[in-house]
């Protein structure tokens, strides 16, 4: 009787119920019915889609479902179709589980279809060897096109397996950008064929053992490889791509460059003078040979990363190293660069122009605007140089009004406000509630500027995470909050 009563009041679709999906879908109409399926599924994938069928099958397999691909759409239980009309938002998707035991996913892009799969994966349960789903229709799309997770592997290197696990989790949360911090003071982690010492010397250190020479490193850790070969980078890029994730590498200029300068001291403003790498030194960006080196590096980097966007760093440059180099000071006089911030913007623009000539966009931490972002007494803001148009400003530090200022000057901004999004900060400082409260759009930003906030990043800086267990502890569950605020 009870069942009868329930079915009598069974409304076709209600949207006052929610689905247990993270990030929360924009719109879900969920009926009271559940639909039961067997555990072998015929799956049709639109030939217009280029999704990795092995990945698709692995997701279903995790739920105990065997996949049989079919090219007969009408026979299929799960149908994935490209449909440009769903939304102008390329990442939108529509997912429907019908009482007629059909599941359809449609989306304007591969990414949308992958998101539909992630939603499906989160609402599946099993019961008595049956696969159980709520009858529902989901119409969903993200609020922001840039939803990034950053992993710092310079401070401590973790390797392929960890990166793949993190990419799996990002995919589960519909995050679409893996920001790979491969280069910093303690270690250079990417093979560059033209400059082998970057890895043969520059990778043999980390934050826990930063004072070891590479000889001492070899003795202590014989044969330990602390960088990615180009083949491995390509493997990660592909793995990420199959999960709908673009990979953006970060190559730091002009500071956080101690590892490369240790490998080639002639790169450094102070190190060249002493013929040995000095911690915290800056590249001598006024030297055409140094500029050529950096262009060579970027050339190999952009070959490896199809995302066509490179992060140039730009944060926390200690200008003392430029100030103490008479050649650099003279260069600034000769070229009418009144402040070190101007020299930084001048040099960043040269790389930006170089990248633009290869149809690659540049992004950098918000020091690249030339502002004295922390109002430090020893820094003068830029006076003559303007950051190149089209550069994406990555806000991390300073007053939030700098976001407005960057937008007013015509730049797009990714908001990674450190007070909310730094995953290395302890939970006492950034508890989960605070992470969930983060809105990439700063309070009071005018409506017409909102579209210049392209999204957010959350950053797993690696100084204090020598082991992967600690990386996971810092990252999970807070990453889910950032997936939510980006969606």
Q: Which residues bind ligand ACM (CB under 6 A)?
A: 315-316, 365, 396
Beta-ladder partners of 66: 40
Comparing CB distances to ligand ACM, the nearer of 115 and 396 is: 396
State how far the Cα of 48 lies from the Cα of 331, in Å rounded to an integer.
Answer: 55
* CA torsion, ordered 146, 435, 466, 228, to nearest 10 deg: -10
CB 462 within 8 A of CB 156: yes
184 assigned to active site: yes
Q: Least separation, in Å, of the C-beta of 396 and ligand ACM? A: 5
Q: How many CB atoms lie within 10 A of CB 36?
A: 12
Rg of the chain over CA atoms, in angstroms? Answer: 25
Q: Least separation, in Å, of the C-beta of 421 and ligand ACM? A: 10
Q: Which pair of structure tokens corresponds to residue 314? A: 């730009």
142 CB burial (10 A radius; 0-12, 13-18, 19+): buried
Omega within 30 of 0 (cis) for the link into 477: yes
Omega within 30 of 0 (cis) for the link into 423: no
DSSP-based three-state secondary structure for 55: helix
Residues in the chain: 487
* CA torsion, ordered 416, 148, 304, 197, to nearest 10 deg: 50
CA 313 distance to own-chain centroid: 14
Comparing CB distances to ligand ACM, the nearer of 134 and 254 is: 254
Comparing CB distances to ligand ACM, the nearer of 37 and 396 is: 396
Q: How many CA atoms lie within 13 A of 51 on its CB side?
A: 32
Comparing CB distances to ligand ACM, the nearer of 144 and 365 is: 365
Q: Least separation, in Å, of the C-beta of 314 and ligand ACM? A: 9
Q: Least separation, in Å, of the C-beta of 446 and ligand ACM? A: 27
State how far the Cα of 355 lies from the Cα of 299, in Å rounded to an integer.
Answer: 9
Q: Least separation, in Å, of the C-beta of 315 and ligand ACM? A: 4
Comparing CB distances to ligand ACM, the nearer of 112 and 455 is: 455
Catalytic residue among 315, 316, 397, 463: 316
Task: Residue 152: name the closest of 201, 234, 207 by CA.
Answer: 207
Comparing CB distances to ligand ACM, the nearer of 195 and 395 is: 395
User: CA separation (Å) from 145 to 173, 193, 413?
Assistant: 14, 33, 12
CB 440 within 8 A of CB 485: yes
Q: Least separation, in Å, of the C-beta of 358 and ligand ACM? A: 25
**Residue-wise over 219-234: b if at least 16 C-beta within 10 A, else e?**
eeeeeeebbbeeebbe
Q: Least separation, in Å, of the C-beta of 461 and ligand ACM? A: 6
State how far the Cα of 67 lies from the Cα of 362, in Å rounded to an integer.
Answer: 41
State how far the Cα of 97 lies from the Cα of 100, in Å rounded to an integer.
Answer: 8
Residue sitting closest to ligand ACM (CB): 315
Comparing CB distances to ligand ACM, the nearer of 178 and 396 is: 396
Q: Least separation, in Å, of the C-beta of 316 and ligand ACM? A: 5
Comparing CB distances to ligand ACM, the nearer of 316 and 450 is: 316
Omega within 30 of 0 (cis) for the link into 454: no
State how far the Cα of 24 lies from the Cα of 20, in Å rounded to an integer.
Answer: 8
User: CA separation (Å) from 340 to 324, 331, 357, 384?
Assistant: 12, 11, 26, 11
316 assigned to active site: yes
Catalytic residue among 156, 158, 179, 256: 256
Comparing CB distances to ligand ACM, the nearer of 37 and 461 is: 461
Catalytic residue among 91, 141, 153, 184: 184
**Catalytic residue set:** 184, 256, 316
């Amino acid at each position: 009787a009870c069942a009868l009563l329930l079915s009598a009041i069974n409304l076709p679709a209600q949207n006052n119920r929610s689905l247990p999906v993270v990030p929360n879908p924009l719109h879900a109409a969920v009926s009271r019915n559940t639909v039961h399926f067997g555990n072998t599924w015929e799956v049709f994938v639109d030939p217009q889609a280029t999704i990795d069928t092995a990945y698709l099958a692995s997701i279903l397999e995790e739920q105990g479902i065997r996949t049989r691909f079919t090219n007969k759409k009408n026979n299929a239980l799960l149908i994935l179709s490209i449909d440009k009309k769903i939304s102008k938002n390329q990442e939108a998707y529509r997912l429907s589980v019908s009482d007629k035991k059909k599941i359809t996913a449609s989306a304007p892009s591969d990414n949308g279809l992958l998101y539909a799969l992630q939603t499906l994966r989160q609402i599946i349960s099993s019961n008595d060897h049956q696969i159980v789903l709520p009858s529902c229709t989901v119409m969903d799309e993200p609020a922001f096109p840039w939803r990034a997770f950053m992993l710092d592997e310079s401070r401590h290197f973790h390797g392929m397996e960890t990166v793949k696990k993190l990419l799996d989790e990002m995919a589960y949360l519909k995050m679409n950008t893996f920001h790979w911090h491969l280069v910093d003071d303690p270690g250079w982690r990417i093979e560059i064929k033209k400059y082998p010492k970057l890895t043969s010397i520059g990778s043999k250190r980390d934050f826990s053992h930063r004072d070891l020479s590479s000889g001492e490193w070899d003795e202590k850790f014989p044969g330990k490889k602390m960088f990615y070969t180009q083949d491995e980078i390509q493997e990660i890029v592909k793995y990420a791509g199959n999960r709908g994730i673009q990979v953006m590498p970060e190559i730091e200029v002009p500071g956080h460059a101690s590892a490369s300068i240790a490998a080639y001291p002639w790169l450094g403003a102070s190190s060249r003078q002493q013929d040995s790498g000095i911690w915290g030194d800056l590249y001598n960006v006024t030297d055409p040979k140094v500029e050529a080196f950096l262009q060579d590096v970027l050339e190999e980097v952009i070959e490896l990363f199809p995302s066509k966007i490179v992060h140039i760093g730009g944060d926390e440059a200690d200008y003392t190293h430029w100030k103490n180099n008479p050649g650099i000071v003279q260069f600034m006089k000769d070229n009418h660069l009144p402040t070190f911030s101007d020299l930084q913007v001048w040099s960043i623009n040269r790389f930006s122009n170089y990248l633009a000539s290869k149809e690659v966009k540049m992004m950098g931490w918000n020091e690249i605007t030339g502002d004295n972002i922390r109002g430090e007494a020893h820094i003068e803001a830029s006076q003559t140089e303007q950051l190149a148009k089209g550069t994406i400003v990555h806000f991390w530090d300073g007053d939030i009004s700098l976001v407005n200022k960057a937008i007013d000057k015509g730049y797009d901004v990714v908001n990674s406000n450190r007070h909310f999004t730094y995953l290395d900060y302890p939970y006492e400082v950034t508890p989960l509630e605070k992470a969930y409260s983060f809105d990439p759009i700063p309070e009071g930003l005018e409506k017409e500027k909102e579209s210049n906030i392209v999204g957010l990043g959350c950053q797993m800086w690696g100084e204090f995470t020598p082991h992967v267990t600690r990386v996971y502890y810092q990252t999970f569950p807070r990453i889910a909050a950032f997936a939510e605020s980006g969606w």
